[in-house]
Chain A
Amino acid sequence: MEFLSDIASLINSTLRISTPLVFAAMAGIFAERSGVIDFSLEGKMLMAAFVAAVGSYYLGNPWLGLLLAIIVCVCLSMLHGFASVTHKGDQVVSCVAINILIIGLTTALAAAWFGQAGLTPTLNEDQRFLEIHLPFADALRDIPFIGTLYSDILSGHYVFVYLAYLSVPLVFWIVFKTSFGLRLRAVGENPSAVDTAGINVFTMRYKALAINGVLIAFAGAHLSTAVNANFFREMSAGRGYLALAAMIFGKWHPKTALIACLLFGFTDALQIRLQGVELPAIGEIPVQLIQALPYILTVVLLAGFVGKAIAPNAIGQPYIKER
């Protein structure tokens, strides 16, 4: 029975750890499907975490913190659009600028406002999101298998966990089943054809970036107002890049990106469990190697052992309207 409950808690942590990755990967799909590279997921996630923590600390309500984070992240996405869509600047450079700016700004402002190097004050129970216990979770716990599934795996997560997995079919529906999604994909594949059809390429890309900003804000708020009760320096820890790698590995498709995100989450959940454990025949693995596992996995996945990734055709290229 202990084995089963170990598995259950491993799946439980996988779902929780994958949540910011899922939001970020979905955000990445919107930007990149429209033809705009988005390495700035990392910076935006960090900014969202900072704004959500500071916002709910002052406003006393985590939902208001989330709202502020959404506004700020949409602004950052618009900045990325302003540089790379309107002014045709280099998209990767724009993302690198945003990431470095945010790493510096969040830590500097936290230090200036709260006097601690890159920390925001700890949020109390009213100021943060709490775990949601699904109805009858306690009563059903003793039923074999179904009880474990319902009470130990599905119940007891933060609201973001449920939202993240609900967002996947929603994103799939928007991108592949609506006319907006058709235009979005067309803008990323062949912008001049879309322009000929009378659709404004620039507006489409800005819309995609706005949705991207909303989604990534959830990832940041999850980090600082749900799983943690404060913001700390560089708390996104490369998750934006992992999510991007998951999205590329998932071939810019919500369902496969979700699987890749879960794989990353599982590796991360496993690495926490493996620390300090003596493995048969190998002995204790150095903790640094275990911590590096998600990053090594990213490199391995990107090396494309499952076939070459084909990006949207017009990705990274600014659209220049013919006169």
Chain B
Amino acid sequence: MSNIVVDKSKVPWWVSNVIVPLVNLTLALLVSGLFVFIAGENPIEAVKLIIYGSFGYIQGFAYTLYYTTNFIFTGLAFAVAFHCRLFNIGGEGQAYIGGLGVFLVAINLSFLPVPIVWLLAIFGAFLFGAAWAYIPAYLQSKRGSHVVITTIMFNFIASSLMIFLLVDVIRDTNQMAPHTVKLPEEIWLPSFEAFSGILGIKIRYSPLNLTFLLAIASLFFVWFLVWKTKWGYEMRAVGHNTQAAIYAGISPHKNIIIAMCISGGLAGLLGVNEILGVSHKIQAGFPAGYGFTGIAVALMGRNHPIGILPAAFLFGILYQGGSEVTFEMPNITRYMFVAVQGLIILFSGALENLFRPQIESFFVRRLNREVNA
């Protein structure tokens, strides 16, 4: 246990926001390497495969950016709620229900011209995701039910609800598998293949689509909302010190509801990428853990859009490169990368202060010496 006392005001921003997170990430990856070794494979080979799979060829890189899109949404979702000290573990369920929103709007309004139906579908995703987050938010603020348990329960309930709908209500009755019909092709979001033709690159298929730009826009939206508006200030005040916020006339109830709804809405946008952009139909279990990965993305990115972008990209690399690894190494399954996420949450979230005092005091002393010399 360390008893090093560091004067926080003397620590340069890049030490606490760049060096310390990088050290934590390195630790997480080292332990991950150990797990790969326990599973009977060579960690260094695995790293090579990850880099080749995610950067080595244009299609792989397009996949990396497609995964990045999903992680930006779910990462931002967790981060927004976290600024109000709410742990929204329910990104998975909110994304699932958000997908329902996209699909219902798109299929019923498919006669509308293209940009309008897209905007309405995006709105539908946001609205459905937000609605699914509203109930846990309400129960947290009015009844004190812990949002972690209720959002987890809502993941299970969302899963049951969607399976029910997919099997009994909105299933494509010409198919055996539980999924819906495809959306009409006119309203699909243009994919990267369409643009790559213009750029003179030929690729066979990529899931990367226009939603990537929506993700980038969401980063700006969240930054503006949380740091540049009165509401964002109020929300952070409630998160920081609820009692003080109440004295300042800020309503915790209102802010908890708004924070969770925006959080759920952002998670819902995952449905835009998956349904309007890639598969064009709702498949059972399409959020496939992206919602949980958002927690790791947000914590690694220190809950700030500037950090979330590289963190989402890193997870994009891990996912895409990881599928290369699972393809080449029989002993590694995609669940190994779920474990890696857990380690990243552990080291950049819960154990973030493991070496922070040592690193910060090291840099403070060095900088002082330079000043004195």
Contacts and interface: CB of A to CB of B under 8 A. Distances in A.
A96 interface: yes
A286 B342 CA distance: 35
Interface stretch (B123-131, B155-163, B365-373): B155-163
A156 interface: no
Interface in B1-55: 1, 35, 38-41
A304 interface: yes
B331 A111 contact: yes
Nearest to A93: B349
Nearest to A305: B143
Given A93-B349, A304-B143, A112 B341 contact: no
Nearest to B338: A104
Given A97-B350, A108-B336, A238 B156 contact: yes
A181 B304 CA distance: 42
B345 A93 contact: yes
A13 interface: no
Contacts of A291: 160
Interface stretch (A52-60, A82-90, A164-172, A255-263): A82-90
B247 interface: no
Interface stretch (B57-65, B107-115, B224-232, B351-359): B351-359
Interface string B86-130: 010100000000000000000000000000000000000000000
A242 to B, nearest CB: 9
Contacts of A104: 335-342
B346 A101 contact: yes
Contacts of A107: 333, 335, 338
Contacts of B1: 86
A94 B351 CA distance: 8
Interface centre among A96, A113, A302, by most B CB within 10 Å? A96
A27 interface: no
A93 B153 contact: no
A289 B296 CA distance: 31
Contact of A97 (B146, B163, B331, B349): B349
B73 interface: no
Interface in B160-219: 160-161, 163-164, 167-168
A292 B342 contact: no
B350 A84 contact: yes
A76 to B, nearest CB: 11
A113 B35 CA distance: 12
B333 A108 contact: yes
B87 A302 contact: no
A92 B148 contact: yes
A298 interface: yes
Contacts of A241: 149, 152-153
Contacts of A248: 146, 149
A108 B346 contact: no
A86 B146 CA distance: 24
Interface range for B: 35 or more
Interface centre among A88, A103, A299, by most B CB within 10 Å? A299
B71 interface: no
B295 A90 contact: no
Main secondary structure of the interface of A (DSSP, over half): helix
Contact of B342 (A101, A112, A288, A303): A101
A161 interface: no
A296 B157 contact: yes
A244 B149 contact: yes
Contacts of B41: 112
Contacts of B160: 288-289, 291-292, 295
A83 B40 contact: no
B269 to A, nearest CB: 22
A288 B349 contact: no
Given A89-B352, A93-B299, A94-B350, A292 B340 contact: no
Contacts of A245: 149, 153
Interface in A273-306: 286, 288-289, 291-292, 295-296, 298-299, 302-304
B249 interface: no
A100 B145 contact: no
Contacts of A292: 156-157, 160-161
A133 interface: no
B27 to A, nearest CB: 13
A303 B140 CA distance: 8
B153 A96 contact: no
Nearest to A292: B160
Contact of A90 (B153, B154, B349): B349
Given A89-B349, A107-B333, A111-B331, A100 B338 contact: yes
Contacts of B332: 108, 112
Contact of A299 (B154, B299, B333, B351): B154
- A-B CB proximity, top 7 nearest: A101-B342, A104-B338, A104-B339, A94-B350, A112-B39, A97-B346, A302-B145
Interface of A: 39, 79, 82-84, 86-94, 96-105, 107-109, 111-113, 117-118, 233, 238, 241, 244-245, 248, 286, 288-289, 291-292, 295-296, 298-299, 302-304, 308-309
Given A101-B342, A112-B332, A288-B163, 10 more contacts: A97-B343, A100-B295, A103-B338, A104-B339, A108-B333, A118-B335, A288-B161, A295-B157, A298-B149, A303-B145
Interface of B: 1, 35, 38-41, 87, 89, 135, 139, 143-146, 148-150, 152-154, 156-157, 160-161, 163-164, 167-168, 292, 295-296, 299, 331-333, 335-343, 345-346, 349-354
27 contacts: A39-B148, A39-B149, A87-B354, A93-B349, A94-B350, A97-B343, A98-B346, A100-B295, A101-B343, A103-B335, A103-B342, A104-B336, A105-B339, A105-B342, A108-B39, A108-B336, A109-B38, A109-B39, A112-B38, A117-B333, A245-B153, A288-B160, A289-B160, A295-B156, A295-B157, A303-B145, A304-B144
